[in-house]
Homo-oligomer: A and B are copies of this chain.
Amino acid sequence: MSEQVTVTTGTPDTGNSAPRRRGRPGYDLEAVLRVAVEVFNERGYDGASMEDLSKRLGIAKSGIYHHVSGKEELLRLALDRALDALWEAAERARTLEAPAIVRLETLVRDAVAVLDARLPYVTLLLRVRGNTEVERAALARRRAFDALVASLVEEAERDGDIRADIDPKLTARLLFGTVNSIVEWYRPGNSAASLADAVCTIAFDGLRVRK
């Protein structure tokens, strides 16, 4: 999964191929964003102030405003890191030439990979409650993602591949509830692929041994 960095203000690309993070660390947008997400996840977005970020980064607030217009833009950029990656996975699942059940399994695996690659951003996304414009926009994108999952489940039910005795919306919620719950304990560096295997095995084939 490629890391797409959306730089909206500051630090124009000079075309210089040398590493950009020279000199004192913590000054480029990427570093500011990484620390902002850390602080948002620890204190909650509402509880975190630009003052907190400035202290944690060890730079003046003006050093942050050089990159972004404020806290809400940091939130938007951070949430987009999670949402863009999940949406990319959803697009892949939507357009793959395969039965719906295979596309659903692929989406589960890709979502676990996104979670592994962008854990703090996904964690932040899953805690969003909709108190601001930016949060409501993020929730709308999450709902669109959930709707796609439910439609894949529905299609797989019509194909006769997934049990039809549970409402597709509920199935979709429980399936991605399992995936999302991983953020509560996962530490990147574990094997994301074998974790994805475990999730798919339990969800699609069940825990019970057939005798």
Residues of A within 8 A of B (CB): 42-44, 46-47, 101, 129, 160-163, 165-167, 170-171, 173-178, 180-182, 184-185, 195, 198-199, 201-209, 211
Dominant SS among interface residues on chain A = helix
Are B207 and A163 in contact, with the CB atoms below 8 A?
yes
Are A178 and B185 in contact, with the CB atoms below 8 A?
no
Are A166 and B198 in contact, with the CB atoms below 8 A?
yes
Q: State the number of copies, please.
A: 2
Residues in B with CB closer than 8 Å to A199 are: 174
Q: A177-B181, A208-B101 are in contact. Are A201 and B44 (CB under 8 A)?
A: no
Residues in B with CB closer than 8 Å to A161 are: 208-209
Residues in B with CB closer than 8 Å to A203 are: 202, 206-207
Query: When chains A and B are docked, how far (Å) is the Cα of A8 from the Cα of B199?
Result: 43
Are A166 and B201 in contact, with the CB atoms below 8 A?
yes
Q: Which of B46, B165, B206 contacts A206 (CB 8 A)?
A: B206
> What's the nearest-Cβ distance from chain B to residue A166, in Å?
5
Are A204 and B198 in contact, with the CB atoms below 8 A?
no
Are A204 and B208 in contact, with the CB atoms below 8 A?
yes
Are B208 and A205 in contact, with the CB atoms below 8 A?
yes
8 cross-chain pairs, A with B, having the tightest CB-CB distances, nearest first: A177-B181, A206-B206, A205-B206, A44-B44, A178-B178, A204-B208, A47-B47, A166-B198
> What's the nearest-Cβ distance from chain B to residue A46, in Å?
5
> What's the nearest-Cβ distance from chain B to residue A138, in Å?
14
Residues in B with CB closer than 8 Å to A171 are: 198, 202, 207
Are A201 and B46 in contact, with the CB atoms below 8 A?
no
> What's the nearest-Cβ distance from chain B to residue A11, in Å?
32
Are B46 and A162 in contact, with the CB atoms below 8 A?
no
